[in-house]
Amino acid sequence: MDDFLTLLVRAHKLLQAASDEAMSRHGVRIGQNLILEALWETDGLTPGEVASRARLPITTPTIVNTATRMEAAGLLTRRRDPNDGRLVRLYLTDRARAARQPIKEARRRLEEHATATLTDEERDHLRTALTKILQQLGAGQADSGGEHG
Amino acid sequence: MDDFLTLLVRAHKLLQAASDEAMSRHGVRIGQNLILEALWETDGLTPGEVASRARLPITTPTIVNTATRMEAAGLLTRRRDPNDGRLVRLYLTDRARAARQPIKEARRRLEEHATATLTDEERDHLRTALTKILQQLGAGQADSGGEHG
DNA sequence: AGAAGATCGTTAGCTTGCTAATGAGACCGT
DNA sequence: ACGGTCTCATTAGCAAGCTAACGATCTTCT
C-alpha cells in the first residue's frame, strides 16, 4: 500500500494531465486556467490583482509569463492603465470569452468522471479530509471565513 | 466551497513545497526523491530502469535531467555499462546514501503532520477515495495486485 | 558479414512554477 | 520641486515535468 503523499501526487498528476488535455481541445492550456477564471469574473485586472484573486496561490511573475503566452495565443491583450503608468491591465479577447462555458463544462465533467465510483458520502469524506489537511498546513485563510474562536 | 479539483491541487502544492523544504535541509530537492528511492533500493540502475521502477510514473528524459543535477550536486555518478554500451548506470555517492534515513523520517513526519487533525477513520476514507479515483482514471495497474474478478 | 531494425541515453524545446533582481512610475515629506 | 521610498510589472535564472527528435549501440535477419 502506498503512502498518502504518493497517492495524492499520483491523483494530482493524472488529473492535471486530463485537465490539460481537455482544455487543449479549446485552445487553452492548464496553466492559463487561473488567469482565465479571474478575468472571466472581472476583465481588465492587473497581473498582481489576478495573482491575489486567483482561486489558488500563484505568484505575479507566473501570471506575467503565462499572460505573455496567452497574448501570443490570441487569448488576451495588454493595455497600460491611463491613470497609473505602473499598472498593466489584461483584457480577454472574444476567443477567450467564448471558451468560458466549454471549459467550465469540460472541467465539471472531468471532476464528475474522476469521482464517478465514489458514493456521495465518500465524496464528502474526501472533501473534509482535504480541507482539514489544508487548514493544518496553514492554508486556513480560505473562503469559509468562520474563525470565530 | 471550492470544487474537489481545487482542493486537491492546493493540498498538493502545499505538500510539495513542504517536502521540498524538508528535503532541502538534507541537500536534496523534491524532484530527486524518486531517483533516490529507486537507487536506495537497487543501486546501479539505468535511467530507463529508474523510470519504470519509480513509485510514480516519470519519463526517462526527466530522470536524465535530474540525474545531471544530482551528479553536479555530488549525489550520484554515471558509469557506462561494460556489457552494453547503450546503458548508463547510476550509482549513489556516500552522501546520497547517508541521506536515506533522515529524508525518509522527514517525509514520514510531514505526512503525519499534514494528517494530524484527521481521525484514523478519516485517513482510511481519504486513502480509499484517492485509490478509487486513481483506478477510475486508469492507474489501476498499481501495487495491490488483486484484480481477480 | 552487413544492412535493417530495435533499444538505449541524451538533447532540444516547450510549459509551469518559484525566488531574486531590475527598472519604471507614483507618492510623500521636506 | 525634488529625493527617497514604495509599488508595480518585468526579466533572469532555476527546478521539474513533458514530447519529439537524434545518435549511438546492440540485435537480428539474410
Question: Is A124 part of any domain?
Answer: yes
The mean predicted confidence, pLDDT, of chain B is: 92
Whether pLDDT at B112 is above 50? yes
Could A12 and B12 be called an inter-chain contact, meaning their C-beta atoms sit closer than 8 Å?
A: yes
- The confidence score (pLDDT) of residue B139 equals 66
Residues contacting nucleic strand D by the 7 Å CB criterion are: A 46-49, 60-61, 64-65, 67-68, 78, 86-88; B 20, 29-32, 34, 57-59, 61-62, 65-66, 69, 84-86
Strand C contacted by B61 CB (< 7 A)? yes
Instruction: Round to whole Å and give the CA distance between A34 and A127.
Output: 21
Tell me the backbone φ, ψ of residue A113, rounded to 5 degrees. Answer: -65, -45
Give me the pLDDT at residue A148, please: 39
For B85-99, what is each residue's pLDDT tens digit?
999 999 999 999 999
Share of chain A above pLDDT 70, in %: 92
Q: Does A100 fall in a domain?
A: yes
Nucleotide nearest to B59 (CA to C1'): D18
The whole-angstrom distance between A80's CA and the closest CA on chain B is: 31
Asked whether residue B146 is domain-assigned, the answer is no
Task: Give residue A138's pLDDT.
Answer: 83
Alpha carbons A115 and A127: distance in angstroms, whole number = 11
Least confident of A117-131, A133-147, B103-117: A133-147
Cell 476567443 -> residue: A95
Which pLDDT score, from 0 to 100, does residue B138 have? 83
Residue B103's domain comprises 17-136
> Is the model's pLDDT at B127 over the cut of 90?
yes
pLDDT grade for A1, boundaries at 50, 70 and 90: low
**What pLDDT, on the 0 to 100 scale, is given for residue A2?**
80
The domain total for chain B is 1
- Statement: the CB of A19 is under 7 Å from strand C: no
Q: What is the CATH number of the domain that holds A28?
A: 1.10.10.10
pLDDT at A96 over 80: yes
Percent of chain A with pLDDT over 90: 90
Alpha-helical (H) ranges within B25-119 are 33-41, 47-53, 60-72, 94-98, 100-114
- The answer to whether the Cβ–Cβ distance between A11 and B137 falls below 8 Å is yes
B33 lies in some domain:
yes
What's the CA B128/C1' D13 distance, rounded, in angstroms? 41
DSSP B45: B
Say if residue B113's pLDDT is above 50: yes
Please list every residue in chain A whose beta carbon sits closer than 8 Å to the beta carbon of residue B111.
3-5
Phi, psi of B93, rounded to the nearest 5 degrees: -85, 170
Work out the angle at residue B86's Cα, subtended by the Cα atoms of residues B80 and B87, and round it to the nearest 5 degrees.
50
Name the residue of chain A whose CA is nearest to B137's CA.
Answer: A114
Whether B143 is in a domain gets the answer: no
Residue B25 in this model has a pLDDT that exceeds 70: yes
In a domain, A25, yes or no: yes
Residue A3 located in a structural domain: no
- Nearest-neighbour CA in chain B from A141: distance (Å): 12
- Give the pLDDT confidence score for residue B149 in this predicted structure: 26
| Residue A6 within a domain | no
